[in-house]
Amino acid sequence: MNSIPLEEAIAGRLGWSGSLRYWLASARAWIFLIVLVVGFEVWAHFAYHTSFVLNPFNAQSIAVFAVGPLLLALGQTFVVISGGIDLSVGFTMGFAAVVFSKILNLTRDSLGESGSLIVAATVALAASAIPGLINGLLIARLRIPPFIGTLGMYGVARGIAYLLAGGTTVPISNSIVSFVGNGTFLGIPMTVLITIVLTAGMMYLLSQSRFGQHTYAIGGNRQASLRAGINVSRNTVALYILSALTAGIGGILYSARFSAGAAQAGEPLLLDSIAAVVIGGASLFGGSGTITGTIIGALIIAIIQYGLVFVNVEPFWQFVAVGIVIIISVLVDQTQKQLSGARLDE
């Protein structure tokens, strides 16, 4: 049940002005991206007589900056489309990073570098699924609002992660892990390649699988989904487990990149993950969104973060910029829904 054909039909039946506004609202992610790229490109040419985007170092840095927010946003996309939200992904990521680092250190001597990597990654992913399972059960079975349920898990995962880490970071030493975190293949960082593969899989899952279609249906109309025979409760649990697993992968790659696990690894990425989904065109009311849009949203955030550093602006302004873009995206989403409602009421 992809919402795009319906949106195109609605836009086509609006008047010229309404159709234009609807199209601009639908294309907001691309418009944000183009404006940012052109703005920083012009600045780079005038200030430094060079290119911003076409510079290989800058392009690689932007891609690496986008990895963290995108990994968390991939699972978040499914949750938001279903009409929920997951506020626990930041510390689920930190929890997974600490578990991965701990297990890697414990098994290094007995299993070797490759064996310890496999075991540590498996245990970390299994551990990261636990907060997702609890979130899903709280929301699906006990009817706790997603905001409250995942906010509570935010605190639980945060506390356990810090307890496991002893309030500090957990350093690791593994050449294979170091290559995964900082190595390149054909000039592309390994973390970026892994993220591309995962993103392709998630894109297929959302757009081509029955699970993805049910996700859209649940977000569009929960009661209609129940009447259609969709197991909403089971799908909701699966959605939050999926969100936690993508955060767990983010935690593993964080440890690989920085050679240490940290409980606070994903704390600054929570806002970015939600921002990437919303900026990418997903509605916080549920029922719409795409992985492609989320990718664009993550790139927009990465360009803002790297671009402000590039033009020598204090990095704290990135929080202001991202916040403004989120507000604009939500306002645009509301306008889009009003246009849709006005057309459907006629």
Which residue carries 């604009």 as its tokens? Answer: 328
Phi, psi of 316 (to 5 degrees): -65, -20
For 95, 110, 129, the CA distances from 125, given in Å and listed in that order, are 10, 21, 6
Q: Is 345 in contact with 87 (CB distance < 8 Å)?
A: no
Per-residue tokens: 115:
């064996």
Longest dimension (CA), the chain: 71
- Integer Cα distance of 39 and 44 in angstroms: 9
Q: Is the dihedral of CA 91, 83, 303, 245 positive or negative?
A: positive
- Integer Cα distance of 15 and 1 in angstroms: 26
CATH number of 4-345: 1.10.3470
260: enclosing H helix or E strand = strand 260-261
pLDDT tens by residue, the chain, 346 residues? 444 444 455 445 555 555 656 566 667 778 888 888 888 888 888 877 788 888 888 888 889 989 989 999 999 999 999 999 999 999 999 999 999 999 999 988 888 888 999 999 999 999 999 999 999 999 999 999 999 999 999 999 999 999 998 888 889 888 898 998 888 888 889 999 999 999 999 999 999 999 999 999 998 888 888 888 889 999 999 999 999 999 999 999 999 999 898 888 888 888 888 889 988 888 888 888 899 999 999 998 888 888 888 777 777 777 787 788 778 877 776 766 665 554 444 4
For 96, 325, 332, the CA distances from 93, given in Å and listed in that order, are 5, 24, 30
Domain ranges of the chain: 4-345
Residues 6+ apart with CB under 8 A from 132: 92, 240, 241, 242, 243, 244, 245
